Chain A
């Protein structure tokens, strides 16, 4: 399949058309969506109208934008006017938002063509896309395995060549982990770089929208299109979108890269081997390599599994059957709320709401939530110290390659552990990218993770590009 960069260039030059590119995308979806369960909704009519409008503007000689005619898949936790948006939850089944997320407006303004909504773990809570009320998504590289999660549908859409680009959201690794498991580039941008307005909240202080794509340049193009200050999001960083594409070939010469012991600890051997080969490739490209231990990373999981559920328990209170979505009746309003929530939420969502409610409740706040916020401070300080010794950090994205269906569903703790390498970045609000590098068990891709301080996206893409080139990808 063509890259987004290639499509945008061809559509703008008239060599191809948005309509033709969209039809390619729609037929790829038609061919495998039933088998893989990637798209929950395909907006054929809306996408065709958007593509046609791009083509008309090109015909008039207009510059449509950097993503002219590029089909893109949207994780189904981002609101798009009139398009069913479910968060893969029964509680939102049938709901059509009356407004666009800021990222949707920005994509349209850049000429991109949103084709539909992709499956996810319900309310983005999960690491395998098995927790969807609408069935699991299969990994296109090996349909007996999970695509990762929670942005499993978006990752699978790109891996299955249905769209060159997809938007995911990353609260504890939900872009990077599926990117790793599906052999893609996936970035969790700095907190506040991309507007969260219209992203259905899981954990507000951790959530970020980011790109999934096959190439580093495509990811940079997509992020550049959606990033930058948004007055609708109070936590949005004040500056405009950074220049990223222009820097993808900046390389790593002279950069200090630290291999972090805790980011390979417990990982499969072939995963560790890939990380080591990636370190060597960066060294070959002129980077200085150091080794670091950041013991605070070991506490990330504990802090995360109190902070994220605490915020979620409050964010998910509004699904009460009163204003939108599912209602299951009861004799009074409280009974109706309870019946609705009990029927509408899946087990993992209930588990996290319960955990978060407990962590915030009277008598437990200080011991759990309060303590977790302090660990978060320590995590931030630990990162700061690390960045005095290195420009970027490197490690694995996940401990293993894509795992089989059902292998972790009965044990929540085992599932949570698959996010152990990605969580520290979310707690610190910093940036990290997963880039495919080498293969592991059964020839499945391994993701190597590069981490950088806030606003280091350009450097991260440049380092990821070095690895991409080292792998012989164009």
Chain B
């Protein structure tokens, strides 16, 4: 693991996460995230090459359900949640690009 992250890394990550940071926040986060990552450096000295990563505590497998249709929500309930709706659909400002 490498040195604590740079300011431009933080700016890039903010963009990926759809957050906008003020200059002051950018400085503060760079410092704070850097500290946390530095603390995480205690893992970098370990030789874990042959260790299998665990993403899940228990080894359950093949949990599936039957292909049975169940009632959907009432459409009025669904649309009542929408910050903006039109013609039975969720309305959003214009979309700049196509889905990746």
Question: Which residues of A are in contact with B by a Cβ distance under 8 Å?
Answer: 95, 98, 191-192, 205, 231, 234-235, 237-238, 298-299, 301-303, 305-306, 313, 317, 320-327, 329-339, 341-342, 345, 350-351, 353-355, 357-358, 361, 367-368, 370-378, 380, 412-413, 416, 427-430, 454
Task: Determine if B43 and A375 form an interchain contact, defined as CB atoms under 8 angstroms apart.
Answer: yes
- CB-based contact B93/A330 at 8 Å: yes
| Chain B residue at minimal CB-CB distance from A96 | B81
Whether B29 and A351, one on each chain, are in contact in the complex, defined by CB atoms closer than 8 angstroms, is: yes
Would you call B90 and A361 a contact (CB within 8 A)? no
Cβ-based interface call for B96 (8 A): yes
B81 surroundings in chain A (CB, below 8 A): 95, 98, 323-324
Interface string of B53-66 (1 = CB under 8 A from A): 11111101001010
**Chain A at the B interface: SS class:** helix
Return chain B residues, CB-CB under 8 Å to A299: 42-43, 46
- B residues 31-48 in Cβ contact with A at 8 Å: 32-33, 35-37, 39-44, 46, 48
A333 near B32: Cβ-Cβ < 8 Å: no
Give CA–CA (A371, B13) in the complex, Å.
20
Which B48-100 residues have a C-beta within 8 angstroms of A? Answer: 48, 51-58, 60, 63, 65, 73, 77-78, 81-84, 90, 92-96
Residue in A302, A325, A416 whose CB lies within 8 Å of B83: A325
> Of the candidates B14, B39, B41, B56, which one forms a contact with A413 in the assembled complex, judged by CB atoms under 8 Å apart?
B39
Q: Complex formed: what's the CA distance from A18 to B63 in Å?
A: 39
> Chain A contacts of B60 at CB under 8 A?
192, 234-235, 237-238
Once bound together, how far apart are the Cα atoms of A354 and B32, in whole Å?
11
Cα(A416)–Cα(B52), bound, Å: 27
B19-34 residues with Cβ-Cβ distance < 8 A to A are: 19-21, 29, 32-33
Residues in A neighbouring B36, C-beta threshold 8 A: 305, 355, 412-413, 416
CB distance from B92 to the nearest CB of A (A): 5
Which residues on A sit within 8 Å (CB–CB) of B21?
Answer: 342, 350
Q: Check A376 against B18 for contact (C-beta < 8 Å).
A: no
Distance A467 CA – B2 CA, assembled complex (angstroms): 46
Partner of B17, one of A323, A333, A334, A357: A357
Residue among B18, B51, B56, B82 having the largest count of chain A Cβ atoms under 10 Å = B18
- Taking a contact as CB atoms under 8 Å apart, the answer to whether B48 and A354 are in contact is no
Bound Cα distance A380, B43 (Å): 16
Flag if A235 contacts B56 (CB, 8 Å).
Answer: yes
Chain B residues in 8 Å Cβ range of A301: 39
Known: A376-B54, A412-B32. 8 other contacts (CB 8 A): A238-B60, A324-B83, A333-B92, A338-B19, A339-B20, A341-B19, A350-B29, A358-B5
Q: Please, which residues of chain B bring their CB within 8 A of the CB of A377?
A: 51-54
CA distance A430 to B77 in the complex (A): 39
In the complex, which residues of chain A have a beta carbon less than 8 angstroms from the beta carbon of B63? 234-235
Instruction: Decide: A341 and B18 in contact? CB cutoff 8 A.
Output: yes
Q: A368-B1, A378-B48, A380-B57 are in contact. Are A322 and B40 (CB under 8 A)?
A: no
Residues of A within 8 A of B13 (CB): 354, 357-358, 361
